[in-house]
Structure 1
Amino acid sequence: MEVKRLHAAARYDAARHFDMRSLRLQGLDATHVEHFWVGLSHFLPDGGAQWDAGPTEKVYVVLSGEITLTTAGGDVVLKALDSCVIPAGEGRSIRNDSRLPASMLVILASALPGSQSTGEGNNG
């Protein structure tokens, strides 16, 4: 077993995100997980992420607050303990339209099946 304590989690900067702070909890440079990584993102009010589509699927789990996700299919508001999967290649943007901070777990594959990519450019 490999334990990662929250106080030891390193901050990382996610491309095209704003008014948000992220911590790497598992995988990539944090622990020896091979197939996925887990981040914890804290979005300030009006914070979010610009439209982007990543090469691997991702799972979002809202821990507190509310997050609005926009895809080609429209807007969806996720509240505490709601979750979703964004398929590989599907575009999305993220917004915290509320007046309170929101926290979300982000789970992504470390690499495409059959590739040697680390997934480091796929920041959620």
Structure 2
Amino acid sequence: MHVVRFAEAPEYTAPGHHDMAMVRLQGREAGPSSDLWIGVSVLAPGGGTTLSSSAQEKMYVVLDGTLHIANGETEVSLGKWDSCRIAPGEDRRLTNKTNSPVTVLLAMPLSADERQRNP
């Protein structure tokens, strides 16, 4: 069993993210994992990401607030407990268009290199 207390979860930054506070709850620097990592992001009003893609699938769950997710063709608004899958290679942009913070849970697989290092 590996426990990470939210108050002790390591912060991280990512390119193309602005006005966001991000912590890892499990995986990578937050502890051992053979397949995935999970984190929580809090987007300040006006915060979000640039439109970009990655090789890894992403799963988002809105824990609080209203999040807008766009893929360059479609934009949706997600509320509390709504979720969205972004496919590998699919563009995505997250935006907080409200006046209140948005809290989002993110789950992503580790890269193939990371999985080989953490059997």
Report the TM-score, using the length of structure 1 for normalisation.
0.89
Describe how 1:36-55 pairs up with structure 2 within 5 A: 36-55=36-55
* Paired letter, 1:76: V
**How far, CA to CA, are the matches of 2:92 and 2:8 in structure 1?**
30
1:1-48 deviation line (CA, Å, top 9, x unaligned): 111111110110121001101001000111101110001000000100
Describe how 1:9-88 pairs up with structure 2 within 5 A: 9-88=9-88
Structure (1/2) with the larger strand percentage: 1
Tell me if 1:116 matches 2:113: yes
| Structure 2: tracts of 5 or more residues without a match | none
**How far, CA to CA, are the matches of 2:71 and 2:8 in structure 1?**
34
Would you say the 8 A contact 2:51–2:72 is kept in 1? no
Q: Which moved more, 1:68-77 or 1:42-51?
A: 68-77
1:39-80 deviation line (CA, Å, top 9, x unaligned): 100000010000110101010000000110011331100100
Structure (1/2) with the larger helix percentage: 2
Residue 117 of structure 1 deviates from its aligned partner by 4.2
Partner SS state of residue 55, structure 1: coil
Identity rate of aligned residues, in percent?
34
**How far, CA to CA, are the matches of 1:40 and 1:91 in structure 2?**
20
Partner SS state of residue 52, structure 1: coil
Partner SS state of residue 7, structure 2: helix
RMSD of Structure 2 on Structure 1 (CA): 1.1
| Structure 1: tracts of 5 or more residues without a match | 119-124
Moved beyond 4 Å, runs of 4+? none
